[in-house]
Structure 1
Amino acid sequence: MLILMLVVSLVSLSFFSACTPEEEKPQEEEVKKVFFGIATGGTGGTYFPVGGAIAQVVSNFADYDNVDVVATAQTSGASVANCNLIGKHEIESAFAQNNVVYWAYTGTEIFKDKEPIKNLRAIASLYPETIQIVALKKSGIKTVEDLKGKKVAVGDVGSGTEVDARTILNLHGITYDDIDEQYMSFSEATDALKDERIDAAFVTAGYPTSSIVALATTKDIVLVNITPNMVQKLVEEVPYYAAATIPAGTYKGQEEDVTTVTCLAQWVCDADLDEDLVYNITKALWEHRDFVEKVHAKGKDITLETAIDGVAIPLHPGAEKYYKEKGLIH
């Protein structure tokens, strides 16, 4: 009888052991890759190298929870084209001049015949974009008025540079009827100057601009001053411009300071982006901006203190959350 009870007990124990589920092992959550594009400009400008540096920062430091953020800088037609890309939800983010961003959002000025791009949101103001008028020394061009009758690159179609060129020429009483305008990217314009196919070019970019640096090593160039009186007039009539100086020695052969005007480069994005994503991207930028400074001289002008300067459209909620934490917004 004792043996029988022992056998029954063992069988029962085996039965209940078999019925007891094994201790479940915690499963690792699957890592989700999120691809994040940054539309910049042409390879010869400032947007592209700065965008490339920021993309590296985002890819290395913006991961959160189980999200792996993979950012890439993409060449594009610059400001106007970039705002249109975001309007069509064809890119996650982009660089653009602050004036162009405002016009796109409000449907004014060059966007007046189009639907306002209401899904534009700001991440940050980055650095001043200086309007540079570069001419071959042999062209004899010394003033803006000297551009009359000359072949002048005015920027890509749909670029902020083209807007600036038209604005500055008009303020000097010059229209495209007075010049032989050429629509070119920065790289195309400096190549054309190098080959002497054009006489001058407008370049709106942070200085030193790589394409101008390269040009100055092979050609004698001049940077055309906008006179102080005209600078004052521009600043009064076009409120998004500020007076600026390109210091002597910025480019080879530039022996004197050059007076001009500047606007701001801004990083904007699609309003539909996840708040946590944009928060962590914004945080990555400002906690690792020193890397951007190592890559390009304009990095020193990208500061948290000026992150919301000149922002005239709504901030993305993710960026706004970060700036509130840092006390920039109360």
Structure 2
Amino acid sequence: MSTTCWSKAASRPTRATACCTSRRRDAAAEPDMTRRSVRCLLLLCVAIFGHAPAYSQKVAEVTLMTAGDGSAFLPYGQGVAAYLASKGISIDVKKSAGSNENLSAVDASATTIGTAFMVSAFDAMNAAGWAAGRKHENLRALFPMYETSFQVAALRSSAITSLADLDGKKVGVGPAKAPAEVFFRAAAEAARVRPIIVNGDPAALAKLVTAGEIDALWQGAVVPIPSLSDVADRADAVVFGLSEAEVAAMLEKFPQLSATIVPPGNYKGQTAEIRSVSAWNFVVANKDLPVEVAYAITKAILSANDPKSEIYPTAGGTLARNATHNRIMPFHPGAMRFYAEAGIVLPAR
């Protein structure tokens, strides 16, 4: 694994359909539509509107950008797609390098939605940080996912138990220039250490830690973080966070973050609280995604009775009331329609 390169898993997108604005069409005007397509559209509209449409429906392709193997975004996105499919709404899931790539892809495509860390979204909206020089003006929020916090995993035999122990050590941080690397560099600066950065997919980096080829893995995701759990489950390892002083330094540099505590028992062998920093993740869309599509997706996801069991175990925060945690990005009009119906008062911007 190169310490100067990063690897990205990608998959070729396939067509996906979602129901949007209805308008009258003469059946003869669409001779190429198969019986199967008609049946799928009817089922989709029943799922969204509660009845079969009097008119045929316009079709839109929707791709959900996530992240790479070993990330928290990918299985969450796959869970979202499976849940939507059970409601008659089909979307394609595509792997990516994570938030930054997703935000740029969504900004450029009316039919792309993506998982996004909202601190990265703040940079995208303001042409700052990783997005310096390019203001992403087309981004709109759909629904909350979960809260992300950051931790480190290392083998217990390494005697690494804090950021201060990482000076000169090889530390995996995920894809190059992605949020995890950005925040790790800031945390290392706060701890006054100079580690060697190693980029790659979190799953691959976790294997390198357990094999002893790198010293530690830093990641940010919903707790328990999948790649860190993998290390703790496969080897005698320790998972740790930041000191009180390091948390204070991070909050001063990144006011979009919040202090957080990870309770004991989230990782194998974890017996004490872990202090860290955190921020929320949302699924975001392009402002030109058709209103009915945005509404249908948002309503379906936020109508799950138990998102942890129906969507994915990390979806406990995928609740309409958590939409209020977005104070960075405007909401899509289709999503706003759902929140108004649900009685959710969105924060003023």
Which of 297-306 and 127-136 deviates more? 297-306
Where does residue 234 of structure 1 map in the other structure? 250
**SS at 1:217 equivalent:** helix
CA distance 1:54–1:295, change in 2 (3 Å): closer
Give yes or no for the alignment of 1:220 onto 2:236.
yes
Q: Which has the larger radius of gyration?
A: 1
Gaps of 5+ in 1: 1-25, 64-68
Residue in 2 that maps onto 1:154: 173
Greater Cα offset, 318-327 or 146-155: 318-327
Cα displacement (A) at 1:329: 3.0
Fraction of identical pairs, as percent: 24
Query: Compared with structure 1, are the counterparts of its residues 90 and 153 closer, same or farther at alpha carbon in structure 2 (3 Å cutoff)?
Result: farther
Name the counterpart of 1:6.
Answer: none
User: Following superposition of structure 1 onto structure 2, how do residues 283-302 of structure 1 map, counting pairs within 5 Å?
Assistant: 283-288=299-304, 290-294=306-310, 296-302=312-318
Instruction: Supply the distance in 2 between the matched residues of 1:143 and 1:154 (Cα, whole angstroms).
Output: 16
> What corresponds to 1:43 in structure 2?
69
Cα-to-partner distance string for 1:72-128 (whole Å, 9 max, x where unaligned): 32211001111121233286111111010111111012211x321111111122211
Match of 2:98 among 78, 84, 91: 78
State the TM-score, normalized to the length of structure 1.
0.83
What is the root-mean-square deviation of aligned Cα atoms in Å?
2.1
Paired position in structure 1 for 2:328: 312
In 2, the alpha carbon distance for the partners of 1:121 and 1:29 equals: 29
SS at match of 2:234: coil
Superposition pairs of residues 57-206 of structure 1, within 5 angstroms: 57-61=83-87, 69-89=89-109, 92-112=112-132, 114-174=133-193, 178-206=194-222
Amino acid at match of 1:137: R
Q: Count residues in correspondence.
A: 295
Aligned to 2:298: 282
Whole-Å separation in 2 of the counterparts to 1:90 and 1:327: 28
- CA change 1:123–1:90 in 2 (3 A) is closer
- Asked if the contact 1:50/1:292 (under 8 Å) is kept, the reply is no
State the shift of 1:194 in Å: 1.7
In structure 2, do the counterparts of structure 1 residues 154 and 167 end up closer, same or farther at CA, with 3 Å as the change threshold? same
SS in 2 for 1:297: coil
Contact 1:127 1:264 in 2 (8 A): yes
CA contact (8 A) 1:54 1:292 kept: no
Contact 1:79 1:158 in 2 (8 A): no
SS in 2 for 1:100: helix
Decide which of 239, 242, 249 is 2:265's aligned counterpart.
249
Q: Distance in 1 between matches of 2:227 and 2:175?
A: 15
Contact 1:33 1:70 in 2 (8 A): no
Could you tell me whether the CA contact under 8 Å between 1:127 and 1:298 is conserved in 2?
A: yes
* Separation in 1, partners of 2:236, 2:305: 35
Cα deviations across residues 190-226 of structure 1 (Å, max 9, x unaligned)? 0111211100111111112233323222211111231
Partner of 2:79: 53
Shift of 1:164: 1.5
Cα deviation digits, residues 115-173 of structure 1 (max 9, x gap)? 21111111122211010111121222111111111001122013211121122122223
Distance 2:307 2:274 in 1: 29
CA distance in 2, matches of 1:206, 1:181: 22
C-alpha displacement of 1:307? 1.5
Gaps of 5+ in 2: 1-25, 28-53
| SS of alignment partner, residue 266 of structure 1 | strand
**Cα offset for 1:309?**
0.8
Relative to structure 1, the CA distance from residue 275 to residue 91 in structure 2 (aligned partners, 3 Å threshold; closer, same or farther) is: closer
Q: What amino acid is the match of 1:158?
A: K
Q: CA deviation at 1:255?
A: 1.8
State the TM-score, normalized to the length of structure 2. Answer: 0.78
Question: Match for residue 21 of structure 2?
Answer: none
